């Protein structure tokens, strides 16, 4: 899915960009924010049962003006991913 932040979107005054991906640890403020003027291509993959994770998230972020170029450059990497299920 492609994601953009609405104008003036923020989490709080201390951190002025919406957080799109964040670790499960509620005490951690680290994560992936989406700043104004940027876009994100977000891949969410449902991981098979028995894995140590439930969902794998892959995000590609770039300024709006270069977004298509960056996504095209990342395509060979995304295409090289190989997931094996048992």
Spell out the domain ranges in the chain: 2-80
User: pLDDT tens for residues 14-72?
Assistant: 666 777 766 666 676 677 777 888 888 988 888 777 777 778 888 898 999 999 999 99
Least Cα distance to 35 among 57, 62, 65, 58 occurs for 62
Q: pLDDT category, 86, cuts 50, 70, 90?
A: low
Residue 34, class by beta-carbon neighbours within 10 Å (0-12 exposed, 13-18 middle, 19+ buried)? buried
Report field, pTM of the whole predicted structure over 0.85? no
């Amino acid at each position: 899915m492609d994601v953009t932040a609405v104008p003036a979107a923020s989490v709080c005054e201390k951190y002025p960009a919406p957080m799109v991906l964040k670790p499960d640890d509620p005490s951690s403020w680290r994560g992936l924010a989406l700043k104004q003027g940027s876009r994100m291509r977000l891949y969410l993959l449902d991981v098979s049962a028995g894995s140590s994770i439930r969902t794998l998230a892959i995000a590609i972020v770039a300024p709006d003006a270069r977004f298509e170029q960056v996504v095209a450059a990342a395509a060979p990497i995304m295409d090289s991913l190989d997931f094996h299920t048992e």
